[in-house]
A = this chain, B = another copy of it.
Amino acid sequence: MKALEDLVTLLSRLPGIGKKSAYRMAFHILKLDGQFAALLAERITGLKDKVRFCSRCGAYTEEDPCPVCSSPSRDRSVLCVVEQPQDVLTIEASREYHGLYHVLGGLISPLDGVGPDALRLDRLVDRVRELGVREVILATNPTVEGDTTALYVKRMLDATGVRVSRLATGMPVGGDLEYADRLTLVRSFRGRTGL
């Protein structure tokens, strides 16, 4: 059935969706009434139509500037630098951070041919100065690319005199020493804190 195969092909391009899951999803859509399919289709196009990038921080938003950038209750003296727009939502969900964000839109990766020019770095120094930021928290992933990018941003910000910090790396809460990889363990030792 072409209509089924066509949908399954597209669905299985989504992350974490294999052929089997794609078929299960398609069969479920077939089983439910047409209203569900229509609504799902509408919301998929609606997502792309309504969601844009905040012109200030680069996060996903329906209004520009985004709710974080325009909120009077956020701490404008702290700026958290992340790789992707969705990282903002992940951090917001933790309710731990109350400052502003700056989305890079990628990481420096010489192997993939991605240099600093491909990232939203030009506005970062300006924003730090304009907002009177006291601390920049680098929250790129603890990977080779994330660490490289963090180091690059740190050097770029040296001229501003702002304090630059990096998210702690170590054992995840609930983790097991037995299953921790060597590098995580190394970082956990080096970053150990007084008790």
Contacts and interface: CB of A to CB of B under 8 A. Distances in A.
B15 A24 contact: yes
Given A3-B50, A10-B39, A51-B3, A44 B62 contact: no
A39 B10 CA distance: 8
Size bracket, chain A contacts? 35 or more
Contacts of A11: 40
A44 B14 CA distance: 14
A34 interface: yes
Contacts of A71: none
A2 interface: yes
Contact of A30 (B26, B37, B47): B47
A25 B60 CA distance: 15
A108 to B, nearest CB: 19
B25 A47 contact: no
A133 B105 CA distance: 64
20 contacts: A1-B62, A1-B89, A2-B62, A3-B46, A3-B47, A4-B51, A4-B89, A7-B43, A10-B36, A10-B40, A10-B43, A16-B21, A16-B25, A17-B21, A23-B86, A30-B47, A30-B51, A30-B60, A37-B45, A38-B48
Interface of A: 1-4, 6-7, 10-11, 13-17, 21, 23-30, 34, 36-51, 60-62, 85-86, 89
